[in-house]
């Protein structure tokens, strides 16, 4: 990695354990400094202890600011950047009215490259350093996204979205072309620098059984790839799945029957799950991805964070841009808090931060590499300024703990609160 080297001081946040598996207040750890060398975190600890190893390094001081891992957004659609915040529809109408016409533009490689760059600019500004994105059916959209991320040395995941039914003519592939295109793309990109490929059937209503089987076979050939899709987002969608797959036991079975259930599977939304689905997802160690701004924006429902965590599920957090209404993981953590409140649980700020960093990193199979400030991890770092706006400044002035400051930043913060962003040790936002 060609990142810079420096020592950064401030309030460095970390976790001694998962705040869902232990007392969240006690799980949140605080340190004074981080040493970054050549794109990696070399050490984290007390300033006095670190300084002797940093005599050759420039020092960057952010007194009072929180220092966190870059946010990890585990489920987005970068091609929906330009149509985010589209009014008045629920899932299926929203897809047909707004989403599909926009996605149809991504056969144009120039447009795909422009939106990929715009999307990564917007999310970097909001403190997100890794995303797992759906592309469109066009290989050009995958090429555009990986090329742009490669130029920025950014850890991202994407894959060609596969659809061979219930979509407009210009957005349909076939079982064979989905297999062939996905295979060619993953052989070209998966594992190159910081890039990973996810086999991507959009959701079972837009794939025939033949296409699901072809993608299941591909995943069996390349089991170290991720597989991403949608599961049980809206009740009408679930009814539709039932009518399209009359032999399936439930929605999850439409994936399971075709080899599309596994520990490297990412299932977006997962709101209206049957007991069998919950059991199977947990047994195989699949990852569920909570998309709270999307779930309120398009009226999908309230994810059962407390129940699913208690059962031991792996859970990541995501914006679901552009069904989600924000590019910001701060706003997304706030929405996760609000959704949990509506189900009777107050998520602790340590739990919210964990979901947006380690939790999502674990969901994507990147634990230890990103999502954590620890020696040996990749130096994707951000700083959060508790005085970034007048509203934040006056609230944080009377904060009594770092957890209280973190919570105010989550609830009141936006991209102005994200002061610095480093990706693989290279500055991408903030004063040079
Ligand atoms: N289900 C299938 N496709 C999509 C999508 O693009 N966004 C959301 N939120 N749900 C989906
Ligand atoms: Zn989605």
Condensed to tens digits (0 to 9), the pLDDT of residues 230-279 reads 999 999 999 999 999 999 999 999 999 999 999 999 999 999 999 999 99
381-392 residue pLDDT tens: 999 999 999 999
> Distance, CA 231 to ligand 2 centroid (Å)?
9
> Distance, CA 230 to ligand 2 centroid (Å)?
6
What is the average per-residue pLDDT within 76-86? 98
Q: 362 in ligand 1 pocket by Cβ < 6 Å?
A: no
> How do the domains of the chain map onto residue ranges?
6-70+371-429, 71-363
What is the average per-residue pLDDT within 336-364? 98
Give the residue whose CA is nearest to atom 9 of ligand 1: 323
Q: What is the pLDDT of residue 3?
A: 73
> Distance, CA 76 to ligand 1 centroid (Å)?
9
| C-alpha–C-alpha distance, residues 170 and 100, integer Å | 9
CA-to-CA separations, 63 to 10, 12, 83, in angstroms, rounded: 5, 11, 39
Q: What is the pLDDT of residue 2?
A: 59
87-124 residue pLDDT tens: 999 999 999 999 999 999 999 999 999 999 999 999 99
Task: State the chain's mean pLDDT as an integer.
Answer: 98
207-240 residue pLDDT tens: 999 999 999 999 999 999 999 999 999 999 999 9
Q: 75 in ligand 1 pocket by Cβ < 6 Å?
A: no
> Comparing C-alpha atoms, which of 369, 368, 418 is closest to residue 392?
418
Q: 294 in ligand 1 pocket by Cβ < 6 Å?
A: yes
Q: What is the DSSP letter of 416?
A: G
> Distance, CA 341 to ligand 2 centroid (Å)?
23
Give the residue whose CA is nearest to atom 11 of ligand 1: 230
Q: 324 in ligand 1 pocket by Cβ < 6 Å?
A: no
| C-alpha–C-alpha distance, residues 396 and 88, integer Å | 36
> Distance, CA 323 to ligand 1 centroid (Å)?
7
Q: 202 in ligand 1 pocket by Cβ < 6 Å?
A: yes
Q: What is the pLDDT of residue 432?
A: 78
List residues bridging with 29 in a β-sheet. Answer: 14
Burial string for 241-273 (b: 16+ CB within 10 Å, else e) reads beebbeebebbbbbbbbbbbbbebbbbbbbbbb
> Comparing C-alpha atoms, which of 259, 171, 281, 158 is closest to residue 211?
259
> Distance, CA 212 to ligand 2 centroid (Å)?
18
Q: 323 in ligand 1 pocket by Cβ < 6 Å?
A: yes
Token reading at 156: 């991202």
CATH fold for domain 71-363: TIM Barrel (3.20.20)
* pLDDT of 46 over the 80 cut: yes
Give the residue whose CA is nearest to atom 3 of ligand 1: 202
CATH class of 6-70+371-429: mainly beta
Do the Cβ atoms of 82 and 117 come closer than 8 Å? no
What is the value of pTM for the model shown? 0.98
Q: 230 in ligand 1 pocket by Cβ < 6 Å?
A: yes
> Distance, CA 268 to ligand 2 centroid (Å)?
6
Q: 103 in ligand 1 pocket by Cβ < 6 Å?
A: no
| C-alpha–C-alpha distance, residues 174 and 177, integer Å | 5
Q: What is the pLDDT of residue 48?
A: 98
Token reading at 113: 């490259």
């Amino acid at each position: 990695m060609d990142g810079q080297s420096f020592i950064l001081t401030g309030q460095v946040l970390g976790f001694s354990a998962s705040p869902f598996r232990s007392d969240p207040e006690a799980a949140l750890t605080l340190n004074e400094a981080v040493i970054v060398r050549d794109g990696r975190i070399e050490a984290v600890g007390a300033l006095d202890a670190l300084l002797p190893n940093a005599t050759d390094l420039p020092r960057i001081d952010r007194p009072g600011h929180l220092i966190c891992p870059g946010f990890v957004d585990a489920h987005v659609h970068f091609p929906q950047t330009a149509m985010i915040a589209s009014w008045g529809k629920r899932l299926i109408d929203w897809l047909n009215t707004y989403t599909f016409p926009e996605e149809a533009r991504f056969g144009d490689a120039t447009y795909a490259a422009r939106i990929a760059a715009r999307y990564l600019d917007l999310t970097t500004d909001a403190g997100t350093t890794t995303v797992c994105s759906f592309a469109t059916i066009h290989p050009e959209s995958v090429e555009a996204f990986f090329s742009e991320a490669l130029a920025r040395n950014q850890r991202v995941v994407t894959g060609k979205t596969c659809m061979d039914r219930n979509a407009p003519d210009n957005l349909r592939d076939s079982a064979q072309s989905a297999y062939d295109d996905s295979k060619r793309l993953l052989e070209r990109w998966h594992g190159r620098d910081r890039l990973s490929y996810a086999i991507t059937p959009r959701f079972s209503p837009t794939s025939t059984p033949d296409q699901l089987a072809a993608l299941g076979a591909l995943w069996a050939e390349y089991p170290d790839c991720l597989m991403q899709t949608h599961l049980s987002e809206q009740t009408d969608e679930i009814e539709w799945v039932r009518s399209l797959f009359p032999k399936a036991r439930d929605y999850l079975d439409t994936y399971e029957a075709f080899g599309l259930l596994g520990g490297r599977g990412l299932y977006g939304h997962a709101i209206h799950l049957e007991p069998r689905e919950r059991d199977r997802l947990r047994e195989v160690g699949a990852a569920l991805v909570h998309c709270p701004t999307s779930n309120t924006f398009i009226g999908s429902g309230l994810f059962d964070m407390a129940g699913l965590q208690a059962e031991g599920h792996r859970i990541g957090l995501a914006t679901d841009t552009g069904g989600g209404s924000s590019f910001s993981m701060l706003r997304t953590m706030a929405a996760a808090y609000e959704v949990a409140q509506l189900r009777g649980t107050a998520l602790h700020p340590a739990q919210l931060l964990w979901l947006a960093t380690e939790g999502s990193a674990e969901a994507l199979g990147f634990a230890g590499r990103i999502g954590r400030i620890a020696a040996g991890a990749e130096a994707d770092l951000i700083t959060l300024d508790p005085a970034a706006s007048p509203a934040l400044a006056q609230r944080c002035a009377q904060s009594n703990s770092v957890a209280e400051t973190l919570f105010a930043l989550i609830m009141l913060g936006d991209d102005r609160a994200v002061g610095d962003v480093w990706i693989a040790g290279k500055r991408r936002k903030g004063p040079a």
